[in-house]
Structure 1
Amino acid sequence: MHRRRGSAYQLLKLVEDSGEVGFWWLDLETGRIDGSVGLLRITGLMSDAELHALFADLVHPDDRAMQADILDILQRGHPVSRTFRIVRPDRSVRWVRLKGQVVLGPAARPIRAEGVLFDVTLPQEATLLAEENRLRYQNLTRTLAAAEWTASPQGQRRPSASWQALTGQAGPDQQGDGWQAVLHPDDRAMAAGAWQEALIREGTLDTDFRLRCADGLHRRYNCRVTPLRDGRGHVVEWLGILLLGLSGGAGLAASAGQPLPDVTPALVRAARALLDWSAPTLAAAAGVSLSSVKRFEAEGMVRDATRRAIREALEGGGIRFHRDPSGEAGVLAAKGAASRPPLAPAQRPVPKAPEALTSAG
């Protein structure tokens, strides 16, 4: 038994050495409170004689009214679990979580309470900061955005209450490609293509389109989407907002951005997706071998002439490679580009920018 008690004491001491937990014992008949070294460390008190303040003066003034019944609850034989702030003698503020249970004596009368006090300052402040940030984001988007929405890492749209309020489209109908149903018919292909491009390159989206609102009228909105990444850089969610009366510029004007001096494998894959071209289709349009296309998209290692032929084939199909004002590389598709049959090399004109990029105008 002595060895077991010694082991229990060493275990409690090990727990207390973390600096974030302390133990207390309250005699419900005399009102005497005893505390462990860890409890004194958390509260900043010097001795057990001062521990009566744990249930009174030590409690933050703004929290006292809500915690004034702790002793009464224990006296009646009920357990307690509360989280509140204390003001230590050095005037520093700590968040603590107090838990206590009651020991009954003869005639089932409460005679003693014992419990634990956790210093939860860091997690509590992190929770409060996260909540403040959430409310700040919520208030900001409600002020600036007509609607907001999220999507899975793979781009699967989730139902949005604000989207439903704006368009009248029910949550289940927004999922998959359903959200496109409330876009202006002339803008659907462009918006869908821009979204697919952003997914492929895992980059931001800034484009405009017209949306049929709940009142049946079409209004122009600027759609901005950005990926939310984890610590390893992986996309864990997509965040999107609609802004009324703003123009992103980069997604609609033929003169938007700056020409790219060269193309990358990621841009070529995005361009193929916009045109709905397979790798064999691109190879045939460029007049190069299928293995060259696959090698370029996988490694980017091909001859300059092959690279140039691939770019010209895509541009001949209605693609424009560009760099937006922020310097990010992107791909634009000419209106109706996805429905055009690819041109053989001999049929293509001298490469130039598409004469009419998709517009919401």
Structure 2
Amino acid sequence: MKLFLETSAQADVGTSQDGDLSAAARKFSGVSSAHFLRLVEERGTTGFWTCDLATGQSSVSPGLLRVMGVETPQPFAIMDLINQVHPDDRLRCEDLWPLIRSGVPVNRSFRIIRGDRTVRWVEFRSEVVLDAEQRPARVIGLLQDVSQDHENRQALEESLGRYRALVGAVAAMEWRATASGEPVFSQGWTVLTGQREADVLNGSWVEAIHPEDRQAVIAAWKNAVSNLTPYEAYHRIRMTNGDYEWFLARAVPMLHSGRLHEWLGILIRQRGLKGIDPVNASADSLLTPMQIRAGRAMLQWTLEDLSQHSGVSISSIRRIEAEGERATRPASLNAIRQAFELEGLIFSDGNGVALQRAEGRRL
């Protein structure tokens, strides 16, 4: 251990006699690299080593022995470390010493079995120092315990895996938008609609929305972006084959340090929502024109308010509220009912409608 630290200190003195290195040495006057090595090693996760390629003589820092789980100082060779590599990672480390001797820098991560029989993930790094004739003369390196980083990465990968599986099971696609409300191109959108990246710029993505639904979709999205409120719209999308399918679009603002960073949303095919197909919705689940008018009155909603919450166009709501138009568009009626129910309205047979508070008391 003393040999390693002394070598480092002597190297500082020698390099301080040349050019810019001399200025660097004067800047840290009275402080050798050994001081910096001790400062780094106090964390207990990093160790250093050096090896003379001609003689094979090696020296290590106390920190390296701690990383390897060796309690008492002992002669060290690179092969000692390789012998502690986990059996499942041996193939990844068989060429370490040949590469080092040939002058190739190495950067590998693998598991080792420490002296106390525990397994740790480590990062092995080395650099080769050339002699005056530009031949590999000495190798220096470090060994760092990265078990915590590896565990964090694994936990993150598992979390992302669960998230993707959940989204894949529920939604047709995930989508994002900038803080200003500009949707970000998604390959999933291209698969659904055939629109390419250039086709969705400057708000052109709405061209894939059914003409009767566009006004409500645009209004609902602008309202969400302006007020930083969750976005929800129920509308039809033109598929690659030219047919329209119903989707529920939802998005929430993602805040970082209290500031809007982006929007994250999903598209859910209609039949994946509570198992209800608006096109084939049961008549029992639909609302009467009187219930719709009463619901708007109880919530003090204008036609524009109901359009924003349901994704149904204002012109369609006017037609539906007209007597005799009860079953004109079952899908739109179902969307309106869902918008009302989210606000606490409950419906009964006939023309019954009531407003229920969060604690369960009817008004």
Do the aligned partners of residues 338 and 37 (structure 1) sit closer, same or farther apart at CA in structure 2, a change above 3 Å counting? farther
Deviates more, 1:26-35 or 1:157-166: 26-35
Do the aligned partners of residues 54 and 241 (structure 1) sit closer, same or farther apart at CA in structure 2, a change above 3 Å counting? farther
How many equivalent pairs are there?
A: 283
Residue 46 (structure 2) pairs with residue 16 (structure 1): no
Which residue of the other structure, out of 256, 272, 281, is the alignment partner of 1:246?
272
* Residue of structure 2 equivalent to 1:269: none
**Offset at 1:166?**
0.7
Do the aligned partners of residues 112 and 222 (structure 1) sit closer, same or farther apart at CA in structure 2, a change above 3 Å counting? same
Which residue of the other structure, out of 192, 202, 210, is the alignment partner of 1:166?
192
Do the aligned partners of residues 335 and 165 (structure 1) sit closer, same or farther apart at CA in structure 2, a change above 3 Å counting? closer
* Residue of structure 2 equivalent to 1:96: 122
Gaps of 5+ in 1: 263-310, 322-329, 341-355
**Offset at 1:182?**
0.7
Contact 1:77 1:110 in 2 (8 A): yes
Deviates more, 1:75-84 or 1:48-57: 48-57
Residue 180 (structure 2) pairs with residue 207 (structure 1): no
Do the aligned partners of residues 92 and 233 (structure 1) sit closer, same or farther apart at CA in structure 2, a change above 3 Å counting? farther
Do the aligned partners of residues 319 and 111 (structure 1) sit closer, same or farther apart at CA in structure 2, a change above 3 Å counting? closer
Task: Note the alpha carbon deviations across 1:157-203, whole angstroms, 9 max, x for none.
Answer: 11111101110011122233222111111111222222223223323
Residues 297-336 of structure 1: pairs in structure 2 closer than 5 A: 315-316=301-302, 318-320=304-306, 335-336=313-314
Residues 188-207 of structure 1: pairs in structure 2 closer than 5 A: 188-207=214-233
What letter corresponds to residue 359 of structure 1 in structure 2?
S
Do the aligned partners of residues 227 and 261 (structure 1) sit closer, same or farther apart at CA in structure 2, a change above 3 Å counting? farther
Q: Secondary structure at the match of 1:176?
A: helix
**Offset at 1:72?**
0.6
Do the aligned partners of residues 261 and 86 (structure 1) sit closer, same or farther apart at CA in structure 2, a change above 3 Å counting? farther
Q: Secondary structure at the match of 1:62?
A: helix
- Distance in structure 1 (CA, Å) of the matches to 2:103 and 2:43: 30
What letter corresponds to residue 126 of structure 1 in structure 2?
N
Do the aligned partners of residues 260 and 32 (structure 1) sit closer, same or farther apart at CA in structure 2, a change above 3 Å counting? farther
Residue 247 (structure 2) pairs with residue 221 (structure 1): yes
Residues 269-280 of structure 1: pairs in structure 2 closer than 5 A: none
After superposition, the CA RMSD in angstroms is 3.8
Residues 6-155 of structure 1: pairs in structure 2 closer than 5 A: 7-46=32-71, 47-49=73-75, 52=78, 55-105=81-131, 109-155=135-181
- Please, what TM-score do these two structures have when normalized by structure 1? 0.65
**Offset at 1:4?**
5.9
Deviates more, 1:93-102 or 1:152-161: 93-102
Task: Note the alpha carbon deviations across 1:265-287, whole angstroms, 9 max, x for none.
Answer: xxxxxxxxxxxxxxxxxxxxxxx
- Distance in structure 1 (CA, Å) of the matches to 2:113 and 2:241: 55
Residue 337 (structure 2) pairs with residue 359 (structure 1): no
**Offset at 1:5?**
7.6
Contact 1:335 1:357 in 2 (8 A): no
What letter corresponds to residue 8 of structure 1 in structure 2?
S
Identical positions, percent: 33
- Distance in structure 1 (CA, Å) of the matches to 2:251 and 2:139: 55
What letter corresponds to residue 175 of structure 1 in structure 2?
L
- Distance in structure 1 (CA, Å) of the matches to 2:68 and 2:183: 49
What letter corresponds to residue 44 of structure 1 in structure 2?
G
What letter corresponds to residue 159 of structure 2 in structure 1?
N
**Offset at 1:95?**
2.6
**Offset at 1:156?**
1.1
- Distance in structure 1 (CA, Å) of the matches to 2:186 and 2:52: 55
Which residue of the other structure, out of 203, 225, 231, is the alignment partner of 1:177?
203
Do the aligned partners of residues 92 and 200 (structure 1) sit closer, same or farther apart at CA in structure 2, a change above 3 Å counting? farther
**Offset at 1:14?**
1.4
- Please, what TM-score do these two structures have when normalized by structure 2? 0.65
